[in-house]
Structure 1
Amino acid sequence: MRGKTVKILIAGAGLAGLSLARALLTRGIRADVVERRPDWTSSGFGLFLPGNASRAFAELGLFSAISQSAVPIRRQDFYDHRGRHLSTVDSERFWEGCGPCLGMPRAVMHKILLDSVAPVPIRTGRAIADVRQVAGGCLVTFDDWSCETYDLVVGADGLNSTVRRLAIDPAPPTYTGNGCWRFFADNHAGIDAWTVMVAKGRTLLAEPVDRSTLYVYAELAQAAGDPRERASRAELQAIFADFTAPLGPLLRQLQPDTPVHFSRIEAVQPPVCFRGRVVLIGDAAHATSPSMAEGAGMACEDAVLLADAITAGDDLDTALGRYAARRQPRVDWVRGQSETRDRIRRLPAAISTRLLRFAGTRMYRRSYTPLLAKA
């Protein structure tokens, strides 16, 4: 579409939507962005950015701002639930030449992205009611019954994407068999690495996101029943009561006024990522369990590659086909590795800890080596 004005609607002003708005803006296209939430108060907890994620955000011209607000994560330490060290991965060395691994609050990343797209109109509290394919584009109806026609509609509206449901796949997200709790904690112990403790069906993880704060993530495998029945703070502390240092004390020191968020972990796998003039990116297209920590990185890579495709000079239909063909193998790899890691976590502790002790670095390299290459 080089040399031609293209009218684009981005549904969703999270990391995926704002990354695409930024990528398009740097290429001379000012998209419309709508966000169904009325404000930005729900900004999540922590982010871990592997090296490929840092590289993708660097392509948006944001690496300096992000690195100044983030904590370098130079290694990953693995322990069993009794505190016995299993292995350490030198992530700094692995990602050398690609980008550093970083930890930061999601809200900080969101503000950096918002500031970077200041010229772009973002309409909050505006939801999409309908999307219809018309000749050469899409007719979008909003929740106030106003209508507008666009050359392209991008669903960057997350796991429970309205755009996906209306235009590509009505199937709801699928429960992965896991539930998780997230919260921030004071880093009294001076933890300076991505640190995880494992037991059968249970994972407790922490990473620094600033000089004094840890992002804490606790996961429980519960294939049967609804994990929301065990969502309380008391259940969290009881489930992980036998976890010792370095992370167990974080749960026992949890204050009554500390916000703790619980959620079922769900995934989506639509049959296609685009149909006609509608395309999905980020979690709307390929949400998986967070075991690869690739959500933000994949969203940003989607944004960069889609913006490249749109501005490469082809017509939009050809551009979308090329984007999908280029992106799908990487999406499939990350999804497959996420599912493999989830299965390992459900193995008996004697097996999973032995794997981490004797093959932890080898498993890490196998999972992430394909991501060293640019998307």
Structure 2
Amino acid sequence: MRVLIVGAGIAGLTLSALLRQKGMVPQIVERADDFHASGYMLALFPMGNRVLHGLGAYDAFRAASEPMDTYTMCNGHGEPMQTFDIAGALGKYGDTRQLSRADLLQLLRNAAPDVPLRMATRVTALVDHGAEVEALAEGESLGRFDLVVGADGIHSTVRQHVAGEIAMRPTGWGGWVWWAPAAAAPRTKVTEYWGAGRFVGVYPVRDRVGVIAAGPIDEIGHARIGGRGARLAELFADYRGVAREPFAAMPASDRDMFFWALEDCRAPHWSKGRVVLMGDSACAFLPTAGVGASMAMESAAVLADELGRSDARGVALALQHYETRRRRRAEGAQTASRRIASMMFISSIPVAWGRDHLMKFYSIEEFGKEIERSLSEPI
């Protein structure tokens, strides 16, 4: 089966390695010039790293990551509201660990290094020829394929072919992300600060710490920061505790950080003819639940499973089964991330005070129920 994967992110590289394991040799195209700007930190829950077991890449994953043993939720004054024992709650299913996106991409690429990968290539059009799909990049034909997989992220061009223009669902918030030295936060411990109109998250990975400082876009975006990292630090001057140290290591210019508009989207359907969506192109996640990478890897595993029991003539049925198995699960996790965002992203001081009071009674069972449900259900 001739398969083109558009996008060499987590979903695309996972699928390429799984298909290679089944004897297929897909082709991958990626619009970025290289992997140098390949993102920051992420968490991988057991439902994601189970896929790495299947690829024989689990030991490499452990070597590249840090365990996420505890998660502490603080208010904007730095006072702990809850500390959750992640390792204890989810350990029966496997490890929950954190690593940089670049490290995860590298180990996924290492799982299938012979799969052809062409960088700096943007697919601009797909032409349906019935039994084949032709992919065009700036007018150049990349060939004809039995299947094209759109794994090209939240701003997917392949999604336009499948479902037309899809409006983003904004939260009105955005966040600046940067790396701080490993000494800026305790290892294995995630700490988040939920303030009124401000949020700080501190996430240790191997050899460094990922940091995000978030707030309403009109207060924290490019127009307000004006190219000065110091201005961002001023907006969070009242934050204390673990949140304070990463600001001392913040780059002087916002050009050396990444601004993340906190929004998501949901495609109304995932396939059209011989073109299918996967990962953020199908169902994009806010970072609030931390499950986006795990969901993308699960989707790749399911699509590879369906394709492994099909040939070129049966692609339509394989895609139908893939969407049936994945869509409800992915959209359920996305809804959970939206619900958490509604609690995190609060600008009103009185409402934030009420939220903080309620969070003191939030149990580990409540915190982990969506993740535990995902882990207990087969894919």
TM-score (norm 1): 0.92
Do the aligned partners of 2:48 and 2:295 also contact (CA within 8 Å) in 1? yes
Measured after TM superposition, the shift of residue 190 of structure 1 is: 4.5
Q: Partner amino acid for 1:366?
A: K
Q: Partner amino acid for 2:330?
A: V
- 1:1-375 matches, cutoff 5 A: 6-192=1-187, 193-210=189-206, 212-222=207-217, 227-231=221-225, 232=227, 233-256=229-252, 259-313=256-310, 315-347=314-346, 348-373=351-376, 374-375=378-379
- CA distance, structure 1, for counterparts of residue 354 and residue 303 of structure 2: 41
Measured after TM superposition, the shift of residue 257 of structure 1 is: 6.8
- CA distance, structure 1, for counterparts of residue 219 and residue 72 of structure 2: 32
RMSD: 2.0
Match of 2:140, SS state, is: coil
- CA distance, structure 1, for counterparts of residue 345 and residue 149 of structure 2: 36
User: Structure 1 residues 87, 69: CA separation in 2 closer, same or farther (over 3 Å shift)?
Assistant: same
Q: Partner amino acid for 1:81?
A: G
User: Structure 1 residues 14, 147: CA separation in 2 closer, same or farther (over 3 Å shift)?
Assistant: closer
- CA distance, structure 1, for counterparts of residue 319 and residue 259 of structure 2: 36
Q: Partner amino acid for 1:153?
A: V
User: Structure 1 residues 312, 40: CA separation in 2 closer, same or farther (over 3 Å shift)?
Assistant: same
- CA distance, structure 2, for counterparts of residue 226 and residue 238 of structure 1: 11
User: Structure 1 residues 226, 175: CA separation in 2 closer, same or farther (over 3 Å shift)?
Assistant: farther
Do the aligned partners of 2:185 and 2:202 also contact (CA within 8 Å) in 1? no
Q: Partner amino acid for 2:288?
A: S
Provide the identity percentage.
27
- CA distance, structure 1, for counterparts of residue 199 and residue 118 of structure 2: 39
Do the aligned partners of 1:176 and 1:289 also contact (CA within 8 Å) in 2? no
Measured after TM superposition, the shift of residue 225 of structure 1 is: 8.6
Q: Partner amino acid for 1:301?
A: E
Match of 2:288, SS state, is: helix
Do the aligned partners of 2:89 and 2:364 also contact (CA within 8 Å) in 1? no
- CA distance, structure 1, for counterparts of residue 334 and residue 151 of structure 2: 18
Measured after TM superposition, the shift of residue 73 of structure 1 is: 1.0
Measured after TM superposition, the shift of residue 228 of structure 1 is: 3.5
Q: Partner amino acid for 2:223?
A: E
User: Structure 1 residues 254, 218: CA separation in 2 closer, same or farther (over 3 Å shift)?
Assistant: same
User: Structure 1 residues 360, 248: CA separation in 2 closer, same or farther (over 3 Å shift)?
Assistant: farther
Match of 1:312, SS state, is: coil
- CA distance, structure 2, for counterparts of residue 79 and residue 295 of structure 1: 23
* 5+ long unaligned stretches in structure 1: 1-5
* 5+ long unaligned stretches in structure 2: none
Measured after TM superposition, the shift of residue 22 of structure 1 is: 0.5
Do the aligned partners of 1:195 and 1:207 also contact (CA within 8 Å) in 2? yes
User: Structure 1 residues 60, 173: CA separation in 2 closer, same or farther (over 3 Å shift)?
Assistant: farther
Do the aligned partners of 2:150 and 2:276 also contact (CA within 8 Å) in 1? yes
Which 4+ runs in 1 deviate beyond 6 A?
Answer: none
TM-score (norm 2): 0.91
Number of aligned residue pairs: give it.
Answer: 368
Measured after TM superposition, the shift of residue 58 of structure 1 is: 2.2
